[in-house]
Every structure is written in C-alpha cells, then in structure tokens.
C-alpha cells in the first residue's frame, strides 16, 4: 500500500487551509504529521479520510483516488478523529458492532472482526460498559477499535494521544507499533513530539498549510540539525581536569561551542560519527578517565521549534 498526497489544496472561502502539499509513505510505516495549531493537519487528515473534498489535488491510496472513488477509498482508510466517540448510551460492543455493520460486514465475519478488534485494543473487559462511562484512554481505544474494525490498510489518527495519561500513551504506542508490524500505513498527528520521534519512521512538518520539512526522521534531523552535541563526563575525582579538557577540545578542528555544564563537558561536532570516535580516542590517549561519552541527537521538538514560527492562517 502506497499513500501519495499530490498537490493537495483546500480553501475555505478566502482561507487557504492546505496549500499545495505533496508527500508519500508506504505500508508498515508510521508517518508523523506535525505542525502548530491551525497548520492544516486536521484538514489534510479529513481529506485523506474522504470527509472533506480537496479544492485541488488528490490523494491516492494504492492508486485509488479519494476524489474519483471516495466510496472505495473509504474502505481502505480507518480514521480516528480528535474527538472521542459520542453515542454515550451505547455499549462498547454495540458501538463496534454498529460500525462493523456500517462497513457492510455480515454474519460470522462481522462477529469475528469485532471480537478480534476488541481483543487487539484490550477492551474485552469493558464490552458491556456504556461509552459515556469510559475514561478518555478507554474511549481512545474504542475509537481506535472502530477505525480498525473493517481492517483498513491505512490508519489516520488525529491527535490520538491528546489528554491521555502516561500509561495510556505507552499502551497506545505499543498498539501502533503492532499495527505497523501488521503492515498498516499509519499517519499520526500529535503535539507530543518526543513520542512521535520514538514511533515514527517519517515525518511531515507543516505550517500555514505548507510543508516545511518532510522525509524520514533521520533525514529531517540531518537536514534541520546537522550538528550533533556530545557530552563527556570524567570520573568525579578528575573533575579538576575539566578546564584543561575544554581547552584541548577547542583546539580540535571538529569541535565547536565547548562548555562545562554541571560537571559535564558539552560540545558540538560538525563531523560524522567517525569524527566523534576520533575525538574519543585522542582523549583516552591523553589519559582522561572518561566515565561517559555520549551523543545527543536533536529531536523533533528541537526541529519543530527551529523550522516553525507558530503562524496560523
């Protein structure tokens, strides 16, 4: 399954919510969709889920156009909106069963699909509970179950982790990893960028309806934050050698901005990983007793803050 967003544009009156964006990703991958509020993430996701129609452009789900064959495309997509399920007077089982019926599943096939989704999303213990009585985390699971009930190949999740407690977030992450293993193509938007870094293979950063960065996480990190920060910690009784170490580091050509922070030496290196190894070898040769030598990668949050300006349409 290949998802291709092609020159997508959406106008609401005079407001351009999505401005000619293009990106793509494949099945088995989790693609993060990042941007400030009002950037056009939800609109794009709603277009992919066939709820909105684009003003121009198209989205192809394995060649199926969402504008030409929305009914067929709808069968390929499972959408988890940012709002949790309504229909508070229905039980969890009834809710999932209703959507299985709505997707045209019949008889035993439906019963099997509903049971499988209930088990996968770990809601088997609350099947007879009314939706209004569920916690946010449980509602999110039910919402995910609803999106999965017809076994779609593409999953579009709009802020699924919003408002969840840490345990629920970890569980959601595990579920998403399992889904990626099952070869689902997942597009997920979230403001919790550290989590996205952990679960996503690729990312799109969008602002004012335009793409600022896109690619694999590594590519984006490399492009947007080419320098790596390295942290060195000497054995505690050698901390008096920190000023000397600082001086020596600054003399090395690959090192920039060396400084001491709470007993540790932080410096930035413009070289690649072999350059870092070389620095380490030199320091050991000069008999520094190094307790810790680690690189910190720039994460999505740093990149997000660098490339976006917080503007909305």
Partner 1 sequence: MNVMARLGSRLARWRDWELNPVVVKELRQAVRNWSVTGMLLLFLVLLFGTSLMFLVSQTFTSQFNQRLGAQIFQAFVVILGGASTLFIPLYVGVRLAIERQENNVDLLYISTLTPGRIIRGKFYCGAYMTLLFFSACMPFMAFTNLLRGVDLPTVFCILLVLFLVVCFAVQVGILLACLPLSKPFKVLVGLSGIGIAFVVLSSVVGLALELMRSGVGAMMAGRDFWIGFSTAVGIGFAGFLLLHFLSIALISPASANRALPLRLYLTVLWFLSGGLSFLWVRHTKDTRMLLPWAIVMGLLLFAALFVVISNHDQLSLRVRRRIPRAPVRRALAFLFFNGAAGGLAWVALLLALTFGATWWALDWSLDRARGFQSLSAADVSDFATTAAGVISYLFAYALTALLVHRRLLSGRPPRLAGVLALIIPGALAVVPNLGMFFLNRLTWDAVERLQLGNLFNLFIVRESAHQLDHLLCAGTWLMIACALNARWFVRQFQSFQPLETAVTPPAEATPTGPS
**Contacts to partner 1 by CB under 8 A:** 2, 4-7, 13-14, 22-26, 29, 31, 46, 49-58, 67-68, 70-71, 74-75, 79, 81, 83-87, 89-90, 94, 98-99, 101-104, 106-107, 150, 201-203, 211, 214-216
Q: For partner 1, which is the closer residue by CB, 223 or 289?
A: 223
Q: For partner 1, which is the closer residue by CB, 201 or 229?
A: 201
| Residue among 44, 125, 106 nearest 77 (CA) | 44
Q: For partner 1, which is the closer residue by CB, 35 or 293?
A: 35
Q: 285 Cβ partners below 8 Å, 6+ apart?
A: none
Are residues 160 and 80 in contact, defined by beta-carbon separation less than 8 angstroms?
A: yes
CB of 214 to partner 1, least distance (A): 4
Q: For partner 1, which is the closer residue by CB, 189 or 269?
A: 189
Torsion of CA 280, 285, 286, 288, to 10 degrees: 60
CB of 18 to partner 1, least distance (A): 14
CB of 148 to partner 1, least distance (A): 13
CB of 296 to partner 1, least distance (A): 23
Contacts 24+ apart (CB under 8 A), 125-130: 126/92, 127/91, 127/92, 127/93, 128/91, 128/92, 128/93, 129/91, 129/92, 130/88, 130/89, 130/90, 130/91
Q: For partner 1, which is the closer residue by CB, 203 or 249?
A: 203
Q: For partner 1, which is the closer residue by CB, 80 or 255?
A: 80
Three-class DSSP category at 261: strand
CB of 188 to partner 1, least distance (A): 13
CB of 161 to partner 1, least distance (A): 18
Total residues found in the chain within this entry? 313
Task: Give the pairing of strands 255-261 and 77-80.
Answer: unpaired
């Amino acid at each position: 399954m290949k998802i291709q967003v092609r020159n997508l544009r959406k106008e609401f009156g005079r407001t351009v919510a999505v401005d000619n964006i293009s990106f793509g990703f494949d099945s088995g991958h989790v693609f993060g969709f990042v941007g400030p509020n009002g950037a056009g993430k939800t609109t794009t996701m709603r277009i992919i889920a066939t709820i909105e129609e684009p003003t121009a452009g198209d989205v192809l789900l394995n060649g199926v156009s969402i504008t030409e064959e929305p009914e067929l495309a709808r069968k390929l997509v499972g959408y988890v909106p940012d709002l949790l399920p309504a229909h508070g007077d229905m039980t969890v089982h009834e809710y999932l069963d209703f959507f299985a019926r709505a997707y045209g599943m019949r008889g035993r096939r439906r019963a099997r699909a509903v049971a499988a989704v209930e088990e996968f999303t770990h809601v088997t213990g609350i099947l007879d509970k009314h939706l209004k009585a569920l916690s946010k985390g449980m509602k999110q699971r039910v919402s995910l179950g609803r999106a999965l009930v017809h076994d779609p190949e593409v999953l579009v999740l709009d802020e699924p982790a919003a408002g969840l407690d840490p345990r629920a977030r970890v569980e959601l992450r595990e579920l998403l990893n399992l889904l990626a293993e099952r070869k689902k193509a997942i597009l997920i938007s979230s403001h919790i960028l550290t989590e996205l870094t952990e679960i996503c293979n690729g990312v799109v950063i969008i602002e004012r309806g335009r793409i600022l960065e896109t690619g694999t996480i590594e590519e984006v990190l490399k492009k947007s934050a080419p320098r790596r920060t390295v942290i060195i910690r000497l054995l505690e009784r050698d901390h008096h050698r920190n000023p000397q170490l600082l001086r020596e580091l600054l003399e090395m050509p690959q090192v920039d901005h060396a400084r001491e922070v709470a007993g540790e030496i932080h410096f930035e290196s413009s070289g690649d990983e072999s350059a870092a190894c070389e620095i380490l070898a030199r320091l050991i040769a000069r008999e520094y007793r190094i307790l810790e030598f680690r690189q910190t990668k720039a994460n999505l949050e740093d990149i997000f803050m660098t490339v976006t300006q917080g503007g909305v349409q």
